[in-house]
Amino acid sequence: MTLRRIFGRFNDSDPDAHTPLWFQITSRLLLLFAAALLILSLGNRLYSSDLVVGAFAAVFLAQGCAGFLYLYAWHREQKRVFATNCEFDSIYRHVLDGILILDSCGICLDANPAAFAILGAPPAEIIGHSLRKFLKEPSAFQNEWRVLLARPLVRGQNELVRRNGSKVIVNYIFTPNYLPGLNAMIFCDITRRVDAEYAARESQNLYRRMADNIDEVFWLLDASTKKLLSVNRAYETLTGRTLESIARDPHSYRDLVHPADRARVLAKLENVVHTGPFDEEFRIVRPGGEVRWVWVKGARTSDVNGQIYGTAQDITARKLAEEQVTAHLTAAEAARAEAESSSAEAEALRRATLALTETLRMDAVLDTLLETLFQIVPYSAASVLLTEENGRLFVARQAPPPLANRTVITLEVNGYPLLERILDLKKAHHLADTRQEQDWRFHKAVSGARSWIGVPLIVSDSVLGLLSISSREPRAFTDRHFRLAELLAIPAAVAIHNARLYEWAQIYALERQTLLKKLDEVPKTKDPEAERLRGRLPN
């Protein structure tokens, strides 16, 4: 049993099988011979003749020990190599990538199980056969094989044909002459990935064709930079701008928004990330200046990329229809209100006329005029400007009245083209917005006016002055207000004219009384002129 264990043969799975057999036998014989001599010398109690035997035994024992040490080191190295080979063999057999060992002609010498599975063929149809039979175009094998052998390392993609005729697309790495006359090819099946990419491209192309043939605009924005990432062909139809303009400047869509709506729309778009969906109707301006209405809806995607997607559609026709309906309703309401207010206006004018004719004092007339004017034409400020002999105007009364007494406000008509035109033509004028009137000039009498009505005060074709009505808001006065101001100016001018006549009459009476008093104080003389004057003056 012991001899069989020492001299027995080792199978291929034992690392000792790779140790030379002569070295194993020699080292074991030396050890056995040294042990025998040592036992023999000890048994004879070390006689002088046995010293030689002991010396030989020691030498043989040293040689045997040296052989065993060398054998132990060799055994450990072989176990390490054997373990590495086992590891490589396990990887070779269980790796998911296919491995082919090919000779210089492309004949398969060995292949791992993954290669059999990918090519769909048993080992008998792969090993010993040329790689040509698995190519989609076998006729091109020779040229491709020469190219592969001429390069140190080749990476690529190719389409192979399985045993059953189905295709398989592989990514491969080819290493020529990794050992003299041996070439290695490692490849993996990417058919599913390629098919998925192809399906995704087809789906994207289908979406693109569908998106490019509808009128609604589909768009995609980057949530952080607000750059327009993608938009379909309908963008050109809606905006009149090309897709190339977006490619050059992804922010150029902002210039489309009407200036009156731009701040509101961009602020809402900026807050989509925090406030939720974007849903706005606003105007855009096409390159030719045409204004169109659009309805834009959007929301943020749920992925980590932070994108905003949405749609935009032209609603100009709907807006025009809504405006027409609104205009018709407004006109109908205005007609009804006109019918209801005509009697009220007539009553208000009648009361104003009566109020103006109740007194002949100028101060009372002017105050009554501004009070009754406010009842029918709500204003922010109003004033009565009367003419002077030198062609100037002075502010006779204004509302609201000044906080403190101040000097009379006058203005030269020549410096105000609009006032000069009203007085010359004797025609009222209405400004919806004074900032859009080229001839408008601001003055202390009409400071802060954005809407303004100027009505001349005319009696017997003579201009007595001007009724100035203003508001701090643009477009505050309507045509109805303008008409009422014109109607009120007629009795107002008559009342002012009568008040002037009354003032002149009072002045004349005062002057007459003063003159009579002076005449009474003068003693009677024979002066014919004084007697004539006394006789002409009434008692």
Residue-wise pLDDT for 169-200, tens only, equals 999 999 998 888 899 999 999 988 888 888 88
Taking phi over 0 as left and psi of -120 to 50 as alpha, with beta for the rest, 240 belongs to left
Indicate whether 18 pLDDT > 60: no
Res. 537: pLDDT tops 60: no
Higher pLDDT, 394 or 35: 394
Burial 31-48 (b: 16+ CB within 10 A, else e): bebbeebbeebeeeeeee
Residue 71: its pLDDT value, please?
A: 63
* Mean model confidence pLDDT for the chain: 79
pLDDT value for 5? 32
Beta strands in 307-450 (DSSP E): 307-314, 381-387, 392-399, 410-412, 429-431
**Would the pLDDT of 6 be above 50?**
no
CA distances from 183 to 154, 180, 314 (A): 12, 8, 65
47 falls in which pLDDT band (50, 70, 90)? Answer: very low
User: So what's the pLDDT on residue 211?
Assistant: 64
Of the listed ranges 97-106, 463-472, 500-509, the one predicted with least confidence: 500-509
Q: How far apart are CA 461 and CA 518, in angstroms?
A: 40
> pLDDT-derived band of residue 281, with 50, 70 and 90 as boundaries?
very high
Kindly tell me if the per-residue pLDDT of 16 is higher than 90: no
pLDDT range class, residue 36, cuts 50, 70, 90:
low
pLDDT of residue 295: 92
CA distances from 375 to 8, 336, 413 (A): 133, 21, 29
User: Do 161 and 150 contact (CB within 8 A), yes or no?
Assistant: no
pLDDT tens digits, 207-216: 677 666 677 8
The pTM of the full predicted model, rounded to 2 decimals, is 0.37
Mean pLDDT lowest for which of 45-54, 83-92, 241-250, 377-386? 45-54
Q: Bridge partners of 170?
A: 158, 189
Is residue 410 within 8 A of residue 385, CB to CB? The reply is no
Mean pLDDT of 103-131: 90
Q: What is the structure's pLDDT at 107?
A: 92
pLDDT confidence of 362, banded at 50, 70, 90? confident
Please report which confidence band the pLDDT of residue 303 belongs to, taking 50, 70 and 90 as the band edges.
low
- The predicted structure's pLDDT at residue 7: 31
Poorest-confidence range of 71-80, 366-375, 429-438, 507-516?
71-80
Residue 21 — very low, low, confident or very high, per pLDDT cuts 50/70/90? low
Greater model confidence, 303 or 316: 316
State yes or no: pLDDT of 32 exceeds 70.
no
Q: For the chain, which residues make up each domain, given as ranges? A: 2-92, 97-194, 212-320, 354-506
Q: Closest Cα to residue 410, out of 387, 389, 388, 394?
A: 394
**pLDDT beyond 90 at 342:** no
The pLDDT score that the predictor gives to residue 292 is 93
- Mean per-residue pLDDT, 406-419: 79
Q: How long is the chain?
A: 539
Q: Which CATH class is domain 212-320?
A: alpha beta
Confidence at 11, pLDDT banded by 50, 70, 90: very low
CATH architecture of the domain with range 97-194? 2-Layer Sandwich (3.30)
pLDDT for 358: 75
Task: Tell me which residue of 381, 368, 387, 383 sits closest to 459, measured CA to CA.
Answer: 387
- Over pLDDT 70: what percentage of the chain? 76
pLDDT above 90: percentage of residues in the chain:
10
- On the question of a cis peptide bond just before residue 523, with omega within 30 degrees of 0, the verdict is no
Going by the DSSP 8-state scheme, the letter that residue 257 receives in this structure is B
Q: Quick one: 354-506 is in which CATH superfamily?
A: GAF domain (3.30.450.40)
- How sure is the predictor about 1, in pLDDT bands with cuts at 50, 70 and 90? very low
**Alpha carbon of residue 442 to chain centroid:** 43
Taking residue 465's Cβ as centre, other Cβ atoms within 10 Å add up to 23
